Amino acid sequence: MEIVKRPAPPTGVRRLMFRAPIYLYRLRLGWLFGGRLLLLDHRGRVSGKPRQVVIEVVEHDSADGSYVVCSGFGPKAAWYQNVLNAPETSIRVGLRTIQVTAEPLDSDEGGEFMARYAPRHPRAARKLVRFMGFAVDGSVEDYREVGRQLPFVRLCPRLDGVRA
């Protein structure tokens, strides 16, 4: 695994394309994404204003209801910094809104999640790591190393729970 080039957050038309799923969620069409994408509601750490971002689900644990997500733009991504600052937040998956607490994972856990994700979604994994600026040989160990380089977050449901 090697880092080819770290991507910059999208701007212009690319930014609009990245934000398009947010508008689908606002139209209550989040079910179109199945369980692959979720909408994260969070607060700006400086402005305090409500913010939203759609993120791919790396793994969902049906036993405890938690979701694991990754910041593909690294630890400086605004949403990642925001949930570190204010971890009590909510997500929308399909038509459900779930109150969650964001818990950052250590690099070894991130590596294991990426190592499990890649074989389940090989085409998506290849495209994602290339987009994120990594060159991999396709081995599970290479994906594990990529996962160690990226910040992962577990979104754990709170006891005050689920709203339909």
The angle at the Cα of 13, spanning 102 to 81, to the nearest 5 degrees, equals 20
- Confidence check: pLDDT of 76 > 70: yes
Q: Does some domain include residue 44?
A: yes
Number of domains, the chain: 1
- In sequence order, the β-bridge partners of residue 69 are 57, 153
Q: Does some domain include residue 103?
A: yes
Which residue range(s) make up the domain with 133?
2-158
Give the closest residue to 33 by CA, choosing from 17, 48, 44, 22: 22
* Mean pLDDT score, 63-78: 93
pLDDT tens, position by position, 99-144: 999 999 999 999 999 999 999 999 989 988 888 888 899 899 999 9
pTM comes to 0.87
Q: Does some domain include residue 163?
A: no
Q: Does some domain include residue 104?
A: yes
Give the closest residue to 55 by CA, choosing from 82, 76, 33: 33
Q: Does some domain include residue 133?
A: yes
Q: What one-character DSSP code corresponds to residue 35?
A: T
- Look up tokens 């009590």; give the residue: 88
* Mean pLDDT score, 22-37: 92
Q: Does some domain include residue 164?
A: no
Q: What is the pLDDT of residue 130?
A: 86
Please provide the average confidence, as pLDDT, over all residues in the chain.
90
Neighbours of 22 (CB within 10 A): 16
Q: Does some domain include residue 108?
A: yes
Q: Does some domain include residue 139?
A: yes
**Domain containing residue 81: CATH number:** 2.30.110.10
